[in-house]
């Protein structure tokens, strides 16, 4: 778990930029003020969790060039070779644990906005709740871990994986995953992408603490599901229906074939596969 001093210098650029901005623009930029960079970790989420338990500040970032045991949703393994951007962000939101669901949507929306900003020719979407997709193939994902004391969130770890400069995926991932280098043909600077994503995330995070509807409106704009027939796999079984809307908790509102509406929270389900546009 040795720190990679050479590459750390690159991330210093981001830190310094943030610090300058805070002083000059009176902005309260905190995401990325502290960045721990490693060449290889089991999982950035694990290290971020330990740092947060020891009191690391909100906005602290742990980034690794490679992960040996990257964690995905639902105990899935996350393929994390060199070339990708694998990082975890420590958050200390003032919210009760039942509200933490919306952090998944916030993460996915921030990544989608960053891709949209840097690659305007790409059509990026969010496949509820946490997949960022291009042409229905997953380019990035978000994993939230929350530590709560009684009902209040003590801290949350937002783990983000972006297939930035990953050229090849092993089967069966090759059928469902893509990367920015595959879509654009060009490699992207990790530092530049991290900086842009942290900015989008921080803006969304701050604005959504004041007004939850701002996040919702952005998430709706990028949703690749709304208006489609989908199949959602939940802890309570599978449901088919029309993806009608998202709500402020990050829940998906499904109109079932019976005409009834069902709300599914992000941590309770995922959309199974690509569904035809209707």
Give 126 or 246: the residue with its C-beta nearer to ligand BTN.
126
C-alpha 78/C-alpha 88 separation (Å) is: 14
Determine if 71 is a binding residue for ligand BTN (CB under 6 A).
yes
Contact 242, 227 (CB under 8 A): yes
Q: How far is the CB of 87 from ligand BTN (least distance, A)?
A: 6
Q: Does the protein bind ligand BTN through residue 76 (CB under 6 A)? A: yes
Minimum distance, C-beta of residue 129 to ligand BTN, in the bound complex (Å) = 9
DSSP reduced 3-state for 239: strand
Instruction: Work out which of 33, 37, 73, 127 binds ligand BTN, going by CB under 6 A.
Output: 73
d(CA 29, CA 45): 22
* Pick 88 or 196: Cβ nearer ligand BTN: 88
Picking from 226, 224, 233, 214, the residue whose alpha carbon sits closest to that of residue 272 is 233
- Tell me whether residue 72 or residue 83 sits nearer to ligand BTN (CB atom): 72
In the bound state with ligand BTN, the residue whose beta carbon lies nearer, of 51 and 242, is: 51
Largest CA distance in the chain: 59
Contact flag: residue 102 with ligand BTN (CB under 6 A): no
6 CB-contact burial (10 Å; exposed 0-12 / middle 13-18 / buried 19+): exposed
Which stretch in 52-60, 82-90, 170-178, 197-205 sits in contact with ligand BTN by CB under 6 A?
82-90
Residues 6 or more apart in contact with residue 154 via CB below 8 angstroms = 92, 147, 148
DSSP string, 152-204: EEEEEEEEEEE-SS-----TTHHHHB--HHHHHSS---HHHHHHHHHHHHHHH
Q: Does 29 bind ligand BTN (CB under 6 A)?
A: no
Q: Quick check: 72 binds ligand BTN (CB under 6 A)?
A: yes
3-state secondary structure of 35: strand
Residues paired with residue 91 on neighbouring β-strands, in sequence order: 156
* Identity of the residue, 93 or 161, whose beta carbon is nearer to ligand BTN in the bound complex: 161
Q: Which of 59, 70, 125, 250 binds ligand BTN (CB under 6 A)?
A: 70
164 forms part of the interface with ligand BTN (CB under 6 A): no
Contact 40, 68 (CB under 8 A): yes
- Under the binding rule (CB under 6 A), the answer on residue 38 touching ligand BTN is no
Report the residue number, 21 or 182, with the smaller CB distance to ligand BTN: 182
44 binds ligand BTN (CB under 6 A): yes
Q: Restricting to residues 127-146, which ones interact with ligand BTN according to CB under 6 A? A: 130-131, 141-143
Q: Is 45 in the site for ligand BTN (CB under 6 A)?
A: yes
Closest listed residue to residue 249, CA positions, set 100, 148, 126:
100
Contact segment (CB under 6 A) with ligand BTN among 9-17, 64-72, 117-125, 242-250 equals: 64-72
Phi, psi angles (nearest 5°) of residue 238: -100, 145
Residues that bind ligand BTN (CB under 6 A): 43-45, 67, 70-73, 76, 78, 80, 86-88, 130-131, 141-143, 159-161
């Amino acid at each position: 778990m040795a720190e990679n001093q050479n590459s750390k210098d690159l991330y210093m650029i981001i830190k310094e930029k943030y610090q300058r901005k805070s002083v000059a623009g009176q902005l309260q930029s905190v995401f990325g003020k502290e960045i721990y960079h490693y060449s290889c970790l089991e999982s950035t989420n694990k290290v971020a969790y330990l740092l947060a338990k020891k009191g690391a500040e909100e906005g602290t970032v742990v980034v690794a060039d490679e992960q040996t045991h990257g964690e995905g949703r639902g105990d899935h393994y996350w393929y994390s070779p060199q070339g990708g951007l694998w990082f975890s962000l420590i958050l200390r939101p003032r919210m009760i644990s039942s509200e933490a669901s919306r952090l998944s949507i916030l993460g996915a929306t921030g990544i989608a906005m960053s891709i949209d900003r840097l690659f305007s020719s790409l059509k990026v979407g969010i496949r509820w709740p946490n997949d960022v997709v291009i042409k229905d193939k997953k380019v990035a994902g978000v994993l939230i871990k929350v530590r709560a004391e009684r009902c209040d969130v003590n801290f949350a770890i937002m783990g983000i994986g972006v297939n930035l400069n990953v050229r090849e995926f092993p089967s069966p991932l090759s059928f469902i995953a893509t990367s920015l280098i595959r879509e654009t043909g060009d490699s992207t600077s990790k530092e530049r992408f991290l900086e842009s994503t942290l900015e989008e995330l921080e803006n969304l995070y701050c604005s959504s603490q004041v007004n939850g509807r701002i996040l919702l409106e952005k998430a709706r704009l990028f949703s690749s599901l709304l208006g489609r027939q989908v199949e959602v796999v939940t802890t309570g079984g599978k449901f088919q229906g029309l993806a009608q809307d998202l709500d402020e908790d990050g829940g998906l509102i499904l109109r079932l074939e019976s005409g009834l509406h069902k709300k599914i929270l992000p941590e309770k389900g995922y959309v199974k596969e690509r569904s035809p546009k209707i």
